[in-house]
Structure 1
Amino acid sequence: MVSSTPSPEAAIARPGIKAPVQETLLTPRFYTTNFDAVAQMDLSGHEDEMESVLAELRADYNRYHFVRNEEFNQCWDSIDGETRRAFIDFLERSCTSEFSGFLLFKELSRKLKGRSPVLSEAFELLARDEARHAGFLNKAMADFGLSLDLGYLTKNRTYTFFPPEWVIYTVYLSEKIGYWRYILVFRHLEQHPEHRIYPLFKYFESWCQDENRHGDFFKVLLRSQPKLWKTWTGRLWARFFLLTVFVTHTLTVLERASFYESIGLDADQYNKDVIRNTNETARRAFPSILDTDHPQFFPRLQACAIANQHLAEIASAKRPGILKFAQKLPWISVILWHMIFLYLLPSINTEPSRATVH
């Protein structure tokens, strides 16, 4: 880290710069991976699919989409109170997530240049899209008198190492769940424009197609690696990442139910719709998916969300750290127990050569 890097206090004190949220299990994370292993990935047998996906990315359908129109040029003080706080929180987390993707893809493109030209180009195009998304969201935050110092986040955010296999599973899911999150909000507000509190939502239809194309790229990457879907370990990992993504989504959505209520959505139903659609989409890439129709599936996710609310209450209380830790343990255990139960439920095998349920 260079000496000119601003301190957290300096970043927080700068006018109009929002203090970064405290990093937790639910905040978007920044990732790094084994670049050499990615460079050595064998794509043989999937060249046509990869070229098709690359052609879609090169077309850059949204080149002129992320342009702010006159609708943004007004005072947004009418969005106030809890709705304003929840909306800014939504913008910040979305911006951080998109920027995290940009950093990872940009570094992958740079590290793979000259070693894997196809993947290097693909990651460069993915980084292009994520940069646009992050910039557009950051400008939206500026309408509320705040913005994120993305340079500060680049230098000071904790980077989590994920093996390439984990990156493929998680990014595929994050892109596909992102598609369903955006498109369901867009369709809802198209039917109920009275709840469209801010013009950003009008951009979601084309925006989510970027997410969809990104997911399609990672689907090809996943299917090009037999060990990720043709082995028993691949099936176990697929179920694990589906579950962790769905639990995280449930905790995040229900923790911020006030935001969804402000745009006329029932947070619980929205969460279920996103998860069901994402799970069904994953059928095309993963060797097994979760049984979201199981009678205990969503009740146990709900129980995780309730436990998480207790954790948040304990974290916000003014108590000694050791006491907080002791109080958190039972609720952490509740979440882990429900996750283990859900993981052990019979899953749905998507490979035609195998039984439907195992």
Structure 2
Amino acid sequence: MVNTLSKPAKEELKSNPQALIQETILTPRFYTTDFEVAANLDLSLQETALKAMLEEMRTDYNRHHFVRDEAFEQTWEHLDEQTRNCFIDYLERSCVSEFSGFLLFKELSRSLKQRNPLLAEIFHLMARDEARHAGFLNKAMGDFNRSLDLARLTKTRTYTFFPLEWVIYTVYLSEKIGYWRYIIIYRHLEKHPEHQFYPLFRYFESWCQDENRHGDIFKALLRSQPKLWNNWKARLWSRFFLLSVFATHSLTVQERAGFYHSLGLDATEFDEQVIRQTNETAARAFPAVLNVDHPEFFPRMQRCAKRNLKLKAISENNFPKVVKFLQKLPLLGGIFWDLFRLYLIKPIDAEALRGTVR
């Protein structure tokens, strides 16, 4: 889960062009993993698919896509303060997330170069894509007198260790949920161009194809390892990571409701649509997925998001720390309980449905 960044006033943004990201529970994190385990992966079950995707990555269909055109050559002073600040927050988090992926894939590529050349090249090209995305987002922040010192972030941020199995589950989901976020926004703005207040959104169609391609690579990695889908533990882990990613998404979207409103989107409807589509997509890779059609699913998820907003408000008040802690306890308990109840909802057996028309 993540917390919002502070929203500085327009004047403060002008006087402080170097953005300093506060690392909180909802902020995108930097990850490391067990590179020895990665080097020893047996890819034989999906080697043909991985080689085909490597050829596609080498082609680099988007190599000329992320180029700023004349549409960026204007002032953005006409944007109201709320839209401006919400958009900068979106750019900051998105840039950190893309840069986090770049660092992980770059290190995987470097560590596997001698022992697993196939994976090493795939991760090298994925790092290329993530770096391209992060750089493009950072240039967009420059239009608002804001930027991230990515080199400094590399040295100062805390790195979280995830076992490789967890990395495969979570990166697959993050890429696929990213695809649905981007394509839903892109298609909405195609129908409602009056809400396209900045040219970045025109790039989302090709952008989401990178996300989708990366997700397909991690799907192949997951399906190459039977222990990640062919036993009862894998079913439990699949549900856990789906719920974790969906809860993070719901909490973050509600924190950014102003941003989605500026695009002409209802935050709650957008959140539900992204979760439904991602859950259906995950059924092609995971052995079990969540029953998002259960009548309790979205009401409980939205209660968690509302409690998170109350937690944020408490964090920003001037009460003593002990008082804040006591105020937060029932809210944290409520979030935990609702997520636990969601986890207990009978899942959908994706393996039993594999190969059927849905």
TM-score (normalised: structure 2): 0.94
Q: How far is the alpha carbon of 1:15 from its aligned partner? A: 4.8
Structure 1 SS opposite 2:45: coil
SS at match of 2:31: strand
Corresponding residue for 2:133?
Answer: 133
Aligned partner of 1:148 in structure 2 is 148
Q: Which position in structure 1 is the counterpart of 2:275?
A: 275
* Separation in 2, partners of 1:36, 1:322: 44
Contact 2:14 2:145 in 1 (8 A): no
Identity rate, percent: 64
Moved over 4 A (4+): 12-15
Counterparts of 1:13-28 in structure 2, within 5 Å, are: 15-20=16-21, 22-28=22-28
For 2:283, give the aligned amino acid: R
Letter in 2 for 1:311: L
Q: Distance in 2 between matches of 1:57 and 1:353?
A: 30
Measure, in 2, the Cα distance between the counterparts of 1:265 and 1:46. 39
Match in the other structure for 1:234: 234
- Counterpart position of 1:87: 87
CA deviations on 1:30-88 (whole Å, 9 max, x unpaired) are 00001101111111122111111111211101000000000000000111311111000
Question: What is the deviation of 1:14?
Answer: 8.8
The secondary structure found in structure 1 opposite 2:103 is helix
Deviations along 1:189-232, whole A, 9 cap, x unmatched? Answer: 00000000000000000110000000000000000011100010
Q: Structure 2 CA distance, aligned partners of 1:115 and 1:125? A: 17
Deviation of 1:325 after TM superposition, in Å, equals 1.6
Relative to structure 1, the CA distance from residue 353 to residue 307 in structure 2 (aligned partners, 3 Å threshold; closer, same or farther) is closer
> For 1:52, what is the secondary structure of its paired residue?
helix
Are the aligned partners of 2:292 and 2:298 in contact in 1 as well (CA < 8 Å)?
yes
What is the one-letter code of the residue matched to 1:237? W
How do residues 43-62 of structure 1 correspond to structure 2 at under 5 angstroms?
43-62=43-62
Structure 1 position 353, deviation (Å): 8.0
What does residue range 1-358 of structure 1 map to in structure 2 within 5 Å?
Answer: 15-20=16-21, 22-352=22-352
Question: Which stretch shifts more, 73-82 or 217-226?
Answer: 73-82
8 Å CA contact 2:14, 2:146 repeated in 1: no
Q: Structure 1 residues 151, 90: CA separation in 2 closer, same or farther (over 3 Å shift)?
A: same
Alignment root-mean-square deviation, CA:
1.5
- Structure 1: give runs of 5+ residues left out of the alignment: 1-11
Shift of 1:324: 1.5
Q: Residue deviations 1:220-255, cap 9 Å, x none?
A: 000001110001000000000000000000000011
Residue-by-residue CA offset, 1:73-120 (whole Å, 9 max, x unaligned) = 000011131111100000000000000000000000001110111110
Q: Please name the residue that 1:3 is paired with.
A: none
Deviates more, 1:88-97 or 1:24-33: 24-33
2:182 counterpart letter in structure 1: Y
Paired residue secondary structure (2:148): coil
